[in-house]
Amino acid sequence: MIGLNRYIPDEIVEQIRASSDIVEIVSDYVRLKKQGRNYVGLCPFHNEKTPSFMVSQEKQIYRCFGCGEGGNIFSFLIKRGNLSFPEAVAVLAERSGISIPEEDDPERDARAKKTEQAYKLNELVKDFYQYVLKNHDIARGARSYLEQRGVTPETADKFQIGFAPPSWDSQINFLKKKGYSVEILEQMGFILAKTKGAPGYYDRFRNRIMFPVWNIQGKVVGFGGRVLDDSLPKYLNSPETPLFNKGHLLYGINKALESIRRLDQVIIVEGYMDVISCHQAGIENVVASLGTAFTPEQGKLLLRYTRQVVFAYDADTAGVNAAMRGWQVLDDIGCRVRVVSIPEGKDPDDYIRNHGPEQFLLLVNERALSLSDYKTDRALEKYDIYTLEGKFKIASEVIPSIINLSNEIEKDEAIMKLAKRLHLSPDAIRAEVEKNARKSRNSWGKRHKITGLRDNKTNFAQPAKSQKEEKDARSKAEETLLIMILEDKSVFSKIKGEVGVHFCSNQEYLNIINLLAEMIENGLDYQPAALFDRMPDEASAGVLSELMAKETPADNKVKIIQDCLKTIREDEIRKKREDLLRQMEEADRNRDQNLRNQLLLEYSKLI
């Protein structure tokens, strides 16, 4: 990665910009849908349930009409990835296959080398486990276990399943022979320091079937190990390392992406074997949450590709509770969540092996419950529906999930269902929903501002500058002309010939115009999106993104230009008259009749 202070020649930057597509880049972070000439999705810079984030492939810009964030392909990576400008350029250069002349940066090179070494170490350990599983007699029990679980050799290869030998030092001895120090092995979570007896180290993973965990790019970042018997812990994951953060990862995501995109749906399960069994059965839009509580980071990762989420967790109490927590996380970021109740208390792996993939898909696609229905089922198991107190408790547990539904048709259907199951009138349930919704809205305003400032550093208390006050005729004319200028270079040339380049009274508009003029004078390609990289301040960049997100007027453009120029000229005349009147008053006070007559002559010409 390029250093923070690295200078990159303008021609290289423009070459990289021209070789990159903002829709393709943003799609790595946001699930976009084509809408007219543009693409829309949920904003990655603030939480929202209704898409207000727009990406223009034609203009190579993005703009959120909710929080006001906007810019070009570089500024998106800078803000979304917390990168410097040179780092954002380097990311796009690598994707485009464009080389950037490097300068020596020992600190940067050391960090890059350390990260590369960590990836290579994980890959080597993965190969070690795989080799042991396939070739050693010591792994006979592991091979037998996988066979009993119905895992084919082809599937084991696809998921790179391996086996950690039962001895205390097989892995550490192997890796030391490969030149790795115990310090690196301990940092990457493969060995532990002894706490008793002679000092030394021992292997973390022993006598376990090993499942590599990949990041979304398909690189091994950690491992999960399962015992072959009933000993505890049943599953053991890698500890937190520079590469492994289980709250940011989803097992199998790199292998499920294509199917998730195609089906516009993801199925979330609990275990490694659930994912493997589903994929082997041809159900490939399946990921697992690494046995940890579902996190907002995992939810945002999924949100890039789909909003349709089905939880297929185990039917035991822990699985139900985990599904409820995961639902809340996903609901908060705008996903549509359903939950599968797997019969007989089975997990997806058991159910598919006993009943087949078709029956599992039937559960997912036809019998998965909305959260309100699921919560109703759970509440009915706890409370007596035939008492008034029981009805009240059931309604109290279910109503919050109804309030959170954004679709009014779904909300009304949920109200009708709950009323029918509780033997109450829909009006009574609807009144409770509306009462609780009002309470929720009163507290939501404060929570929204707090979480917005905490998570996104966006001041939701301040309205966007364009909405703060209605523009006067001059401002509207300047805005219209600038929108047209940003769209068409010939409009800039025409207006420059008519009124010059300093016709704007707004400082942010002037900053934009001056940079456009500089772009033309230097013979650069007319690319308004490139202006974001040179904006003198955030205010100007915000105004630029707002203007570029607007469409050029579709009416007679020549007449619109003439009308706008007329408005600007008339406003200039008005200002000159006001200035002359002030000077005439000053001349009267000074009893300077000659100056007053001269000013009066100029004033009469303007009239």
393 domain residue, yes or no: yes
Q: Given CA atoms 364, 365, 366, 369 in this order, what sign does their dihedral have?
A: positive
CATH number at residue 66: 3.90.580.10
461 domain residue, yes or no: no
Residue 302 shares a structural domain with residue 402:
no
The pair of three-digit structure tokens given for residue 308, joined into one six-digit string: 């349709």
Residue 301 shares a structural domain with residue 194:
no
Instruction: Quick: pLDDT tens for 405-441.
Output: 756 777 888 899 999 999 999 998 999 888 887 775 5
Residue 181 shares a structural domain with residue 288:
no
pLDDT at 451 > cutoff 70: no
> What residues are paired with 56 via a beta bridge?
61
Q: Give mean pLDDT, residues 344-354.
A: 86
Domain end, chosen from 71, 96, 121, is at 96
Residue 450 shares a structural domain with residue 510:
no
Quote the pLDDT of residue 166.
Answer: 94
Please, what is the angle between helix 557-589 and helix 593-606, to 10°? 160
Instruction: Quick: pLDDT tens for 102-116.
Output: 666 677 667 768 888
Cβ pair 19, 37 in contact under 8 A: no
Residue of 330, 353, 356 whose CA lies nearest to 267: 330
Domain end, chosen from 367, 397, 419, is at 367
CA distance linking residue 424 with residue 497, whole number of Å: 74
Cβ pair 182, 172 in contact under 8 A: yes
In this structure, the number of other CB atoms found within 10 A of the CB of residue 284 comes to 19
CATH number at residue 539: 1.10.860
Instruction: Quick: pLDDT tens for 13-44.
Output: 888 887 888 988 999 888 898 888 889 999 99
Residue 143 shares a structural domain with residue 212:
yes
596 domain residue, yes or no: no
175 domain residue, yes or no: yes
Residue 206 shares a structural domain with residue 125:
yes
Quote the pLDDT of residue 507.
Answer: 84
Residue 439 shares a structural domain with residue 514:
no
Quote the pLDDT of residue 59.
Answer: 85
Q: Given CA atoms 276, 281, 287, 288 in this order, what sign does their dihedral have?
A: negative
Residue 76 shares a structural domain with residue 112:
no
Domain end, chosen from 172, 207, 239, is at 239
pLDDT at 448 > cutoff 80: no
Residue of 226, 210, 308, 213 whose CA lies nearest to 265: 308
Domain that holds residue 197: 105-239
3-state secondary structure of 400: helix
Instruction: Quick: pLDDT tens for 43-64.
Output: 999 888 889 999 988 888 999 9
Residue 121 shares a structural domain with residue 232:
yes
- Look up the pTM and report it: 0.62
In the chain, the number of structural domains is 5
425 domain residue, yes or no: yes
CATH number at residue 295: 3.40.1360.10
Quote the pLDDT of residue 6.
Answer: 55
pLDDT at 360 > cutoff 50: yes
Q: Name the band, by pLDDT with cuts 50, 70 and 90, for residue 326.
A: confident
Quote the pLDDT of residue 553.
Answer: 66
319 domain residue, yes or no: yes
Q: What type of residue is 500?
A: G
Q: What type of residue is 413?
A: E
Q: Give mean pLDDT, residues 143-167.
A: 96
The pair of three-digit structure tokens given for residue 553, joined into one six-digit string: 């007027």
C-alpha pair distances (Å), 293 with each of 1, 3, 290, 464, 537: 33, 36, 9, 36, 41
Instruction: Quick: pLDDT tens for 187-231.
Output: 999 999 998 878 899 999 999 999 999 988 788 999 999 999 888
Residue 34 shares a structural domain with residue 142:
no
Question: Within 13 Å of residue 36, how many CA atoms lie on the same side as its CB?
Answer: 6
Cβ pair 331, 371 in contact under 8 A: yes
597 domain residue, yes or no: no
Residue 276 shares a structural domain with residue 380:
no
Quote the pLDDT of residue 1.
Answer: 41
Residue 357 shares a structural domain with residue 409:
no
362 domain residue, yes or no: yes
